[in-house]
Amino acid sequence: MKMYHNPVLLHKSVEDLITNPDGIYVDVTFGGGGHSREILKKLSPKGRLFSFDQDLDALENTIDDERFTLINQNFRFLENSLLAYGISSVDGVLADLGVSSHQFDEATRGFSTRSDAPLDMRMNVKQQLDAKRVINKYEEEHLADIFHNYGELRNSRKIAKDIVTKRLIKPIKTTQELKDIFQYIPAPNRNKFYAQVFQAIRIEVNQELEALKEMLEQSYRILKPEGRLVVISYHSLEDRLVKRFLKNGKFEGEQPRDIYGNFPKFFNLLQTKAVIPDENEIEENSRARSAKMRTGIKI
């Protein structure tokens, strides 16, 4: 069994999710199985739980329970994967987004800024695109867009230019070689800068925002009326998409008004503001510091 850290907002997220102990629920980010195990505790013998994870390491944490099914897939394939099991509607969907603590701690995966490792950052190690290819093969303008859009870095064009200049001399193969390019960043700002750079590359490698959008849209389609969608996010890019989708079913702009001049609603919000961990949880689990949880109830 792979060791994973404590799941964030464990009890509150499961409390918000489950309204029918006999129902069918989905945990689209299984990881170490913390949320899934808590969900199973709340389900009756009739209840069912389907969990998703594309990371092969997560399969080692599978749960021996006849009510439980673990699907080794990216959650962007939520709808079709459930249909393969004869499931077309569910009572609730839970998503705990981002990179797991295990993936950060597994130095060879290349997710962490603290360890030297091959440039990889793939959540699904079977896919072709990795961080090494992004850094060494993408055009300068494409790289600049990634750092601007996914890392929210103001100097994205300089970052891209520095990388392209360096790779002309020799390929950039490791996380340390990438970090060494930016030694000119002042020390007090360096760790945050590295985190933003790595985040941008990781999001591109795993197409995280595109996958999130697809999962949210599919979740709405498969949720029963009054079904719950619970999403825990860790940075503003994710949270912004979740907030907009719960508000009006779109990620940009607004839905057209109905014949009465009103905007259609897709979800009611369980809480008007995002739920955040308390000080005790943040002290016990540093990953919880940036977490925001939003819960929508399908209309």
Alpha carbon separation from 87 to 23, 48, 68 (Å, rounded): 12, 11, 13
Judge residue 238's burial from the number of C-beta atoms within 10 Å of its C-beta, 0-12 exposed, 13-18 middle, 19 or more buried: buried
Count of other CB atoms within 10 angstroms of residue 178: 23
CA angle 94, 97, 99 (to 5 degrees): 140
Residue 74 CA to residue 53 CA, distance in Å, equals: 6
The answer to whether 103 is a known ligand-binding residue is: yes
Contact 61, 1 (CB under 8 A): yes
> Which burial class, exposed, middle or buried, applies to 230 when counting CB atoms under 10 A from its CB (0-12, 13-18, 19+)?
buried
Other C-beta atoms closer than 10 Å to the C-beta of 9 total: 23
- The Cα 187–Cα 192 span in angstroms is 10
> 33 a known binding residue?
yes
Tokens representing residue 131 in the block: 């961080």
Asked if residue 75 belongs to a known ligand binding site, the reply is yes
- Give the tokens for residue 189: 């700002």
Residue 227 marked ligand-binding: no
34 marked among binding-site residues = yes
Amino acid at 149: N
Nearest to 244 by CA among 257, 260, 259, 255: 255
Give the phi and the psi of residue 17 in degrees, each rounded to 5: -75, -45
Q: Which residues touch 125 (CB under 8 Å, ≥6 apart)?
A: 55, 56
Extract the annotated binding site for S-adenosyl-L-methionine.
33-35, 53, 75, 96, 103
Q: Which residues participate in the annotated binding site?
A: 33-35, 53, 75, 96, 103
